[in-house]
Chains A and B, each alone.
Chain A
Amino acid sequence: MTALLSIRDLTVTYRHDGREVAALNHVSLDVTAGERFAIIGESGSGKSTLALAIAGLLPGSSKVGGSIEWKLPNLRSPHAFAPPSVLPSLPKLGISPTRGEIGSSVAGTPPAALEFGESGNDSAISPQVGEMSGRTEGGATDRQPASLRDHTPLGGRDIGFVFQDPSASLDPVMAVGEQIAEVAHTHLGLTWSQSYAKAKALLERVRLPDPDAALRAYPHQLSGGQKQRVAIAAAIAAGPKLLIADEATSALDTIVQAEIVALIRQLVAEDGMTLLFVSHDIALAADLAERIAVFQHGELVEFGATAQIVASPRHAYTRALLDAHLGLDAEPLLRQAGALR
């Protein structure tokens, strides 16, 4: 088993109300190529910060220490492409590549590890910003071994990102076919007609009922589950090595959630992708992932094979999360409380 990425001593600090708040505290872990890996925790555990850090999408205002090293044997080199003014307006796909590539070509030497872009844009969960090349906080470039400098993963191309809210990820005024085709056009160097053919094939893969109609549909014409399928299609359009799903099923009802989880499982297996599944739901994570990392207050508290985490958790917090799960077979609170009937 080879590592896909190696995280060492990662610390991320946000400024909030003038105070420094540590979102991640000295986290070290390895993600194995081809595995399904879950990050679980409650609000404020740092799980989404870790996902954003791996994808290079941290807000520019955050301070980052430590390193994320990628061990990708043969990363594709960036494609030449038209300047942004020629491209159609960029959708907020969550995985927008363009700026990163511009940054790279301008900067000449793409930095090795993920770049924690500093853009002055505080709102920046925006992906373009995270990928901005050039300046880094705390000299991340210097920390990375020079040998890795040609192995910079790129959001959209090497990393696909699926967010919780597909309505926020998709451009409301752009047909979904175009949003998917754009990813293929940008990263795979396909012509637009090839890109649209690819988009249609992807819509079939994510099992939208009528792919031809869906190509021309706008996000508001689709249900929540269908929109998430479109977001997944866009995320995998460039054939990424790593698919990150950050609470990607949390806003969906349980039936649609189960369908989307099954779809992710199938796509990851078919394409040999590594999956990083971020969730607050330990049961859902256990169903999908081979390994689970449990986070609490920015710390990695427990990390292991799913069976071990679920059957013999070592950390009290993991046990508490397991105990708090209300499954169909859970002890009814009603009886414990001694309510009527």
Chain B
Amino acid sequence: MSSPLLAVSGLTKRYRRGGKTIAAVDDVSFHIEAGETLALAGPSGSGKSTVARLLLRLIEPDAGRIEFEGGDFLSLNDTALRARRARLQMVFQDPLAAFNPRASVARVLDDPLRIHSIAARSERPHRIAALLERVGLSADLAGRAIHEISGGQRQRIAIARAIATNPSLIVLDEAVSALDVSVRRQILQLLLDLQREERIAYLFISHDLGVISAIAHRVVILDAGRVAESGNARAVIGAPQSAIGKALVAAAPKLNRTSTQGAADRQ
């Protein structure tokens, strides 16, 4: 059996706060296979985003190993890390905060192509047009400023930027949480299409089990920095075993379209 695309083991990150040490991430282990979607679920403060930041080495762990594409990710020096980051991309919840709002769409997409020496200057406008088309946008959008386009378009741009460097893994941190429901569905569909065609793996961070059950293969549920349970997404969400898994399932808004609801008082 070949090694997984990403293998995280014993990952731990502690913070000191008010004289006390708090483990934001506590002995967390999981793996992601190529082309697979692993969801990281949990309530606010469970450590989901800290895991994402550790994976991108925006912060360094206190303990644990991260192996990515068969190599020790944590021992990469700055130069090697920069090169490796082309293969491990990130999409955030709010693309307006992630990009310079005054920058043009073309500029935002040009940066990764230039920085990672993916295309020569003369070729880049072509590449940008192709990327826009790839995420379902018109090439005419290239000249627009980030702040002028809609939230859904912006998230498509964020995805286009992420795939520009031909990554094998994209970390999506609450990437569809701020979108309208109809736009959210389109973005999820786009992610699935890209995954099928390019065999990109996703680490999909979300507190929304509805979204997770729709697009994830497997799920890891975190609670207070530790793994509470993990397994096949539909199986875990269908029959959660941990207290936090049960609480998340119970709290998810449910829509019963066949019988009456809502009007009944349940005090």
Q: Which residues of chain A have a CB within 8 Å of any CB of chain B?
A: 42-43, 223-224, 252-259, 265-266, 269, 280-284, 286-290, 305-307, 310-311, 320-322, 324-334, 337-341
Contact = CB atoms under 8 A, between A and B. Distances in A.
Interface of B: 35-37, 43-45, 151, 180-185, 188-189, 192-193, 195-196, 207-211, 213-217, 234, 237-238, 247-263, 265-267
B263 A333 contact: no
B210 A330 contact: yes
Given A311-B257, A332-B214, A340 B35 contact: yes
A280 B181 contact: yes
Given A258-B250, A280-B180, 7 more contacts: A281-B181, A311-B260, A326-B184, A328-B237, A330-B213, A332-B215, A334-B216
A255 B248 contact: yes
Residue in B182, B184, B251 with the greatest tally of chain A CB atoms within 10 Å = B251
A255 B251 contact: yes
A324 B181 contact: yes
A327 B267 contact: no
12 contacts: A255-B247, A269-B265, A287-B254, A287-B261, A287-B262, A289-B262, A310-B255, A310-B261, A328-B238, A328-B249, A332-B215, A334-B214
A42 B43 contact: no
Contact of B263 (A307, A330, A334): A307
Contacts of A266: 267
Contacts of B182: 42, 320-321, 324
At the interface, is chain A mostly helix, strand, loop or mixed? Answer: helix
Contacts of B207: 253-254
Contacts of A288: 262
B267 A305 contact: no
Nearest to B256: A310
Nearest to A321: B181
A339 B190 CA distance: 12
Contacts of A286: 255, 261-262
Contacts of A283: 253-255
**Closest 5 A-B residue pairs measured CB to CB?**
A306-B262, A283-B253, A258-B251, A307-B260, A42-B180
Contacts of B180: 42-43, 280
A333 B215 contact: yes
Contacts of A224: 44
B262 A307 contact: yes
